[in-house]
Amino acid sequence: MSPKAQIPSHRKPRNSKMNTALRAGVTGGVMGTMALTAAAAPAFAADKNAPDQTVEMPTLSTAGSNARAAESLQNSAQQFQLQQAQENAASEAKEQAKENKERAKAKAEAKRKAEAARKAREAAQQNEAPASRSADRDSLTTASASAPQGGNAATLINFLRAQVGKSYVMGASGPSAYDCSGLTQAAYKQVGVNLPRTSQPQSTAGTSVSLDNLQPGDLLYWGSAGSAYHVGVYVGGGKFIGAQNSSTGVVERPLSYDQPTGAVRVL
Protein backbone atom coordinates (compact mmCIF):
# COMPACT_ATOMS: atom_id res chain seq x y z
CA MET A 1 0.00 0.00 0.00
CA SER A 2 1.18 3.42 -0.82
CA PRO A 3 2.08 5.58 2.11
CA LYS A 4 -0.22 8.28 0.84
CA ALA A 5 -3.11 5.91 1.11
CA GLN A 6 -2.97 6.13 4.87
CA ILE A 7 -3.35 9.98 4.84
CA PRO A 8 -6.96 10.98 4.71
CA SER A 9 -7.85 13.55 1.99
CA HIS A 10 -8.82 17.01 3.20
CA ARG A 11 -10.42 18.17 -0.07
CA LYS A 12 -14.15 18.47 -0.06
CA PRO A 13 -16.02 16.29 -2.47
CA ARG A 14 -17.21 18.10 -5.54
CA ASN A 15 -20.75 19.25 -5.45
CA SER A 16 -22.41 17.94 -8.56
CA LYS A 17 -25.17 20.56 -8.35
CA MET A 18 -22.73 23.45 -8.29
CA ASN A 19 -20.82 22.08 -11.25
CA THR A 20 -24.04 21.72 -13.14
CA ALA A 21 -24.95 25.36 -12.42
CA LEU A 22 -21.57 26.63 -13.50
CA ARG A 23 -21.72 24.71 -16.68
CA ALA A 24 -25.19 26.03 -17.32
CA GLY A 25 -24.08 29.60 -16.63
CA VAL A 26 -21.10 29.37 -18.94
CA THR A 27 -23.24 27.84 -21.61
CA GLY A 28 -25.86 30.52 -21.17
CA GLY A 29 -23.25 33.28 -21.28
CA VAL A 30 -21.77 31.95 -24.49
CA MET A 31 -25.16 31.59 -26.07
CA GLY A 32 -26.18 35.05 -24.95
CA THR A 33 -23.08 36.55 -26.42
CA MET A 34 -23.73 34.81 -29.70
CA ALA A 35 -27.31 36.03 -29.71
CA LEU A 36 -26.24 39.59 -29.00
CA THR A 37 -23.68 39.44 -31.77
CA ALA A 38 -26.25 38.13 -34.21
CA ALA A 39 -28.70 40.87 -33.28
CA ALA A 40 -26.12 43.64 -33.62
CA ALA A 41 -24.79 42.45 -36.95
CA PRO A 42 -27.56 44.03 -39.12
CA ALA A 43 -27.28 47.32 -37.33
CA PHE A 44 -23.52 47.30 -37.74
CA ALA A 45 -23.94 46.50 -41.40
CA ALA A 46 -26.40 49.37 -41.73
CA ASP A 47 -23.98 51.74 -40.02
CA LYS A 48 -21.25 50.71 -42.42
CA ASN A 49 -23.45 51.73 -45.36
CA ALA A 50 -24.34 55.08 -43.76
CA PRO A 51 -22.51 58.23 -44.98
CA ASP A 52 -19.47 59.42 -43.00
CA GLN A 53 -20.33 61.77 -40.20
CA THR A 54 -18.01 64.33 -38.59
CA VAL A 55 -17.81 64.10 -34.90
CA GLU A 56 -17.33 67.48 -33.35
CA MET A 57 -15.04 67.56 -30.38
CA PRO A 58 -15.97 69.89 -27.58
CA THR A 59 -13.93 73.08 -27.52
CA LEU A 60 -11.57 73.09 -24.64
CA SER A 61 -11.65 76.08 -22.34
CA THR A 62 -7.85 76.41 -22.62
CA ALA A 63 -8.19 77.62 -26.25
CA GLY A 64 -10.00 80.78 -25.15
CA SER A 65 -7.46 81.37 -22.40
CA ASN A 66 -4.60 81.07 -24.87
CA ALA A 67 -6.25 83.55 -27.24
CA ARG A 68 -6.74 86.07 -24.46
CA ALA A 69 -3.14 85.62 -23.32
CA ALA A 70 -1.88 86.20 -26.88
CA GLU A 71 -3.99 89.33 -27.24
CA SER A 72 -2.75 90.64 -23.89
CA LEU A 73 0.84 89.96 -24.93
CA GLN A 74 0.34 91.82 -28.19
CA ASN A 75 -1.20 94.79 -26.40
CA SER A 76 1.72 94.86 -23.98
CA ALA A 77 4.19 94.83 -26.89
CA GLN A 78 2.37 97.71 -28.59
CA GLN A 79 2.33 99.72 -25.38
CA PHE A 80 6.05 99.12 -24.89
CA GLN A 81 6.79 100.25 -28.45
CA LEU A 82 4.69 103.38 -27.96
CA GLN A 83 6.41 104.18 -24.68
CA GLN A 84 9.82 103.62 -26.24
CA ALA A 85 8.96 105.92 -29.15
CA GLN A 86 7.78 108.61 -26.73
CA GLU A 87 10.96 108.33 -24.68
CA ASN A 88 13.10 108.55 -27.84
CA ALA A 89 11.20 111.62 -29.02
CA ALA A 90 11.59 113.28 -25.61
CA SER A 91 15.32 112.52 -25.60
CA GLU A 92 15.76 113.94 -29.10
CA ALA A 93 13.80 117.06 -28.15
CA LYS A 94 15.97 117.53 -25.08
CA GLU A 95 19.17 117.20 -27.12
CA GLN A 96 17.85 119.63 -29.73
CA ALA A 97 16.91 122.14 -27.05
CA LYS A 98 20.38 121.84 -25.53
CA GLU A 99 22.00 122.34 -28.93
CA ASN A 100 19.80 125.38 -29.64
CA LYS A 101 20.70 126.85 -26.26
CA GLU A 102 24.43 126.38 -26.87
CA ARG A 103 24.10 127.88 -30.35
CA ALA A 104 22.20 130.90 -29.00
CA LYS A 105 24.77 131.33 -26.24
CA ALA A 106 27.65 131.23 -28.72
CA LYS A 107 25.85 133.69 -30.99
CA ALA A 108 25.22 136.08 -28.11
CA GLU A 109 28.86 135.83 -27.03
CA ALA A 110 30.06 136.54 -30.57
CA LYS A 111 27.71 139.52 -30.79
CA ARG A 112 28.96 140.81 -27.44
CA LYS A 113 32.58 140.55 -28.56
CA ALA A 114 31.83 142.25 -31.86
CA GLU A 115 30.09 145.09 -30.04
CA ALA A 116 32.99 145.43 -27.62
CA ALA A 117 35.45 145.53 -30.52
CA ARG A 118 33.37 148.18 -32.29
CA LYS A 119 33.27 150.35 -29.18
CA ALA A 120 37.01 149.90 -28.71
CA ARG A 121 37.66 151.06 -32.28
CA GLU A 122 35.46 154.10 -31.80
CA ALA A 123 37.16 154.93 -28.52
CA ALA A 124 40.55 154.52 -30.17
CA GLN A 125 39.56 156.98 -32.88
CA GLN A 126 38.55 159.52 -30.27
CA ASN A 127 41.37 158.79 -27.88
CA GLU A 128 44.68 157.62 -29.21
CA ALA A 129 46.27 154.93 -27.16
CA PRO A 130 48.70 156.75 -24.84
CA ALA A 131 52.24 155.65 -24.29
CA SER A 132 53.33 154.82 -20.78
CA ARG A 133 53.21 157.69 -18.29
CA SER A 134 56.93 157.73 -17.77
CA ALA A 135 57.65 157.73 -21.50
CA ASP A 136 55.18 160.57 -22.04
CA ARG A 137 56.80 162.66 -19.33
CA ASP A 138 60.25 162.03 -20.78
CA SER A 139 59.07 162.91 -24.29
CA LEU A 140 57.28 165.99 -22.98
CA THR A 141 60.42 167.29 -21.27
CA THR A 142 62.59 166.64 -24.33
CA ALA A 143 60.11 168.19 -26.76
CA SER A 144 59.61 171.30 -24.65
CA ALA A 145 63.36 171.81 -24.43
CA SER A 146 64.16 171.15 -28.09
CA ALA A 147 61.17 172.55 -29.99
CA PRO A 148 62.49 175.50 -32.01
CA GLN A 149 60.55 178.75 -32.28
CA GLY A 150 59.87 180.37 -35.62
CA GLY A 151 59.54 178.63 -38.99
CA ASN A 152 57.48 179.15 -42.08
CA ALA A 153 53.75 178.97 -41.29
CA ALA A 154 52.80 179.28 -44.95
CA THR A 155 54.81 176.16 -45.84
CA LEU A 156 53.16 174.32 -42.98
CA ILE A 157 49.65 175.35 -44.05
CA ASN A 158 50.26 174.55 -47.73
CA PHE A 159 51.38 171.07 -46.78
CA LEU A 160 48.29 170.55 -44.60
CA ARG A 161 45.88 171.65 -47.33
CA ALA A 162 47.53 169.23 -49.73
CA GLN A 163 46.60 166.39 -47.35
CA VAL A 164 42.88 167.29 -47.12
CA GLY A 165 40.71 164.41 -48.33
CA LYS A 166 43.17 161.67 -47.41
CA SER A 167 42.10 158.77 -45.20
CA TYR A 168 42.21 158.52 -41.45
CA VAL A 169 43.95 155.33 -40.28
CA MET A 170 44.87 154.73 -36.68
CA GLY A 171 48.66 154.77 -36.27
CA ALA A 172 49.33 156.07 -39.82
CA SER A 173 51.70 158.99 -40.44
CA GLY A 174 51.47 159.39 -44.23
CA PRO A 175 51.87 159.87 -46.97
CA SER A 176 48.49 158.39 -48.08
CA ALA A 177 46.77 158.18 -44.67
CA TYR A 178 47.15 159.71 -41.22
CA ASP A 179 45.82 159.72 -37.71
CA CYS A 180 45.56 163.10 -35.96
CA SER A 181 49.01 163.26 -34.37
CA GLY A 182 50.63 161.58 -37.37
CA LEU A 183 49.39 164.46 -39.56
CA THR A 184 50.60 167.21 -37.22
CA GLN A 185 53.98 165.54 -36.77
CA ALA A 186 54.43 165.24 -40.55
CA ALA A 187 53.26 168.86 -41.09
CA TYR A 188 55.59 170.44 -38.55
CA LYS A 189 58.45 168.32 -39.82
CA GLN A 190 58.13 170.21 -43.13
CA VAL A 191 59.35 173.35 -41.36
CA GLY A 192 61.99 171.69 -39.19
CA VAL A 193 59.98 171.12 -36.01
CA ASN A 194 60.23 167.64 -34.56
CA LEU A 195 57.14 166.86 -32.50
CA PRO A 196 56.53 163.77 -30.38
CA ARG A 197 54.46 161.08 -32.09
CA THR A 198 51.29 161.11 -29.96
CA SER A 199 48.80 163.83 -29.05
CA GLN A 200 49.49 163.77 -25.29
CA PRO A 201 53.05 165.17 -25.40
CA GLN A 202 52.30 167.29 -28.48
CA SER A 203 49.74 169.25 -26.45
CA THR A 204 52.56 170.72 -24.34
CA ALA A 205 55.32 170.93 -26.96
CA GLY A 206 55.42 174.73 -27.04
CA THR A 207 54.08 177.83 -25.39
CA SER A 208 50.47 177.76 -24.29
CA VAL A 209 48.27 180.41 -25.99
CA SER A 210 44.69 181.52 -25.59
CA LEU A 211 42.11 180.47 -28.15
CA ASP A 212 41.28 184.18 -28.52
CA ASN A 213 44.86 184.93 -29.58
CA LEU A 214 45.53 182.23 -32.18
CA GLN A 215 47.94 182.62 -35.07
CA PRO A 216 48.22 180.45 -38.23
CA GLY A 217 50.46 177.50 -37.44
CA ASP A 218 49.42 177.15 -33.79
CA LEU A 219 48.82 173.57 -32.67
CA LEU A 220 45.32 172.94 -31.28
CA TYR A 221 44.42 170.16 -28.86
CA TRP A 222 41.28 168.59 -27.44
CA GLY A 223 41.26 167.34 -23.88
CA SER A 224 43.63 168.61 -21.22
CA ALA A 225 47.25 169.63 -21.70
CA GLY A 226 49.51 166.62 -21.31
CA SER A 227 46.64 164.13 -21.78
CA ALA A 228 44.97 165.40 -24.97
CA TYR A 229 43.10 162.88 -27.09
CA HIS A 230 43.10 164.85 -30.36
CA VAL A 231 45.23 167.50 -32.13
CA GLY A 232 45.02 169.73 -35.22
CA VAL A 233 46.54 172.93 -36.67
CA TYR A 234 45.03 176.40 -36.85
CA VAL A 235 45.32 177.69 -40.45
CA GLY A 236 43.78 181.14 -40.01
CA GLY A 237 40.37 182.56 -40.85
CA GLY A 238 38.79 180.78 -37.87
CA LYS A 239 39.55 177.35 -39.38
CA PHE A 240 41.70 174.34 -38.58
CA ILE A 241 42.95 171.26 -40.46
CA GLY A 242 43.07 167.87 -38.82
CA ALA A 243 42.71 164.12 -39.37
CA GLN A 244 39.38 163.77 -37.60
CA ASN A 245 38.22 160.15 -37.83
CA SER A 246 37.73 157.24 -40.24
CA SER A 247 34.45 158.71 -41.50
CA THR A 248 35.74 162.14 -42.50
CA GLY A 249 39.47 161.62 -42.96
CA VAL A 250 41.62 164.80 -43.21
CA VAL A 251 39.38 167.89 -43.31
CA GLU A 252 39.45 171.66 -43.04
CA ARG A 253 36.70 172.91 -40.74
CA PRO A 254 35.71 176.04 -38.79
CA LEU A 255 36.58 175.99 -35.10
CA SER A 256 32.86 175.85 -34.31
CA TYR A 257 32.72 172.43 -35.99
CA ASP A 258 34.68 170.99 -33.07
CA GLN A 259 35.75 173.58 -30.54
CA PRO A 260 39.31 172.82 -29.28
CA THR A 261 40.25 172.91 -25.60
CA GLY A 262 43.55 174.74 -25.90
CA ALA A 263 46.51 175.61 -28.11
CA VAL A 264 50.32 175.82 -28.06
CA ARG A 265 52.61 177.89 -30.27
CA VAL A 266 55.54 175.95 -31.68
CA LEU A 267 56.63 178.29 -34.54
- pLDDT tens, 8-47? 554 555 555 445 444 544 444 445 445 444 444 444 444 4
Q: Which residues contact 247 (CB under 8 A, 6 or more apart)?
A: 168
Cβ atoms 205, 182 nearer than 8 A: no
User: pLDDT of 127-164, one tens digit each?
Assistant: 554 444 444 444 443 443 333 344 589 999 999 999 99
Q: Tell me the pTM.
A: 0.46
Task: Tell me if residue 209 falls in helix, strand or coil.
Answer: strand
Q: In 3-state terms, the chain is what percent helix, strand and coil (to 5)?
A: 55, 15, 30
Domains parsed from the chain with CATH numbers:
133-265 (3.90.1720.10)
> Distance between CA 159 and CA 153 in Å, rounded?
10
Length of the chain: 267
Contact at 8 Å (CB) between 216 and 235? yes
User: Could you say which DSSP state residue 257 is in?
Assistant: G
